[in-house]
Amino acid sequence: MKKITLLISVLIFTLLAINGCKKNDEEPKNENNTVTPWEGVEGEIRTFNTFQNERLAFGGGHNQASLQTFTLHDEPRNVRNIKMYIKLHCPTGGCNAWDVFANIKVKDDASGLYYEIGRFITPYGVDNSAYPDGYEIDVTDFKSLLTGNAELRAYIETWGTDGWEISVRFDYTLGKPDYQYYSVNKLLNYDTNSLEGVPYGVMHGKDLTRTVTIPSNASSTSLRTIITGWGHTTPADPGSGRPCAEWCFRTHKIKIDGGDKFNHEMGALGCSANPTSNQAGNWQPDRAGWCPGMAVPVRTDVFDNSKAGETFNFEYFYQPWSSNGGSTSGTVGAYYATSCFVIVKSDEPISKPTVVD
């Protein structure tokens, strides 16, 4: 009987060992033969709600900005993409009447700076319920910062006590990413509000050049830019009568080591096709690269090689134009609110690119 019992025990142990080996063989492994962080979560979407009906206004006990810390997904290595959704609701009494600059930022703890991850323009006097999920912006570039406890800043440049109520949600799609590790550093952050951007057509003291060094283990390097023009300054463009910088169509450039590398066309986006078609203002005419009641486009420029270990000179170059000091409105001045970041990616831990002003 003891022999039979021992034989049965050996048989069970052998079957369990074979089954364990088979299971381990089916698990995704990396070159070091360890289980990968996306094993078992491929295609899963995890949702994180942050600001919820946060009232942003000016006066009446309200503020234009809100800073809060939220707990987000804690494993960036298994994140394929992150989408941010921004909903705007009208408070009791109605929304503010104007189309204004607004954005969401995340704090970079290493520098103490807030990085703009998305920008949008509010609609004239209404909510954005025409977008069922809200304005959608891909923020995957910032997954190294949108992890764990992250401090976010929501801002709307409204000048009334009405304002808006804002809700922001993040959807993390999990699975095998293009690269497990991302890192980001700022190049330009002239994005505090519409009129603290780069003055256009006049002499100014904003520095638009940087020296950038890419980590030696980078597998991909790209630039991410958000830009909107503001102001009704003359001379207006011949023929079209478009003043700058809200209305005048321009082509700006990113120069690398003095040569033209990437173009940014600040042209029409088709504002009249906006699903939010009940706006109470002049929302249909095309602006230069933005529309009332829409998310501002993210301009992504990917280098044709990783530039690993390289140092290069960066310059943001605005198409030349000279202001004559006049305006077609009551305010003089043309501005380009501009943010630009350098993003590096790798399948091994990677440091931030070095940026020298």
Distance CA 146, CA 117 (A): 10
Evaluate whether 102 touches 95 at the Cβ level (below 8 Å).
Answer: no
Alpha carbon separation from 114 to 73, 117, 154, 185 (Å, rounded): 19, 9, 11, 11
Other CB atoms within 10 A of residue 290 CB:
25
**By three-state DSSP, how is residue 325 classified?**
coil
Residue with the two structure tokens 């301009």: 299
Residue with the two structure tokens 């910088």: 245
Sheet holding 294-295, edge to edge: 65-71, 149-156, 101-108, 113-121, 294-295
* Beta-bridge mates of residue 64: none
Instruction: Concatenate the DSSP letters of all residues of 128-188 into one string.
Output: -TTSTT-EEEE-GGGTTTSSSEEEEEEEE---SSS-EEEEEEEEEEES--S-SEEEEEEEE
The answer to whether the peptide bond before residue 154 is cis (omega within 30 degrees of 0) is no
Half-sphere exposure of 151 (CA within 13 A, CB side): 11
Q: Does 157 qualify as catalytic in the annotation?
A: yes
Distance CA 32, CA 199 (A): 53
Question: 123: closest CA among 93, 154, 102?
Answer: 102
- By CB atoms closer than 10 A (0-12, 13-18, 19+), residue 188 is buried
The DSSP call for residue 91 is P
Catalytic residue, chosen from 108, 127, 157, 191, is 157
Sheet holding 250-256, edge to edge: 259-266, 250-256, 311-317, 209-213, 354-356
Which residues are known catalytic residues? Answer: 99, 157, 246
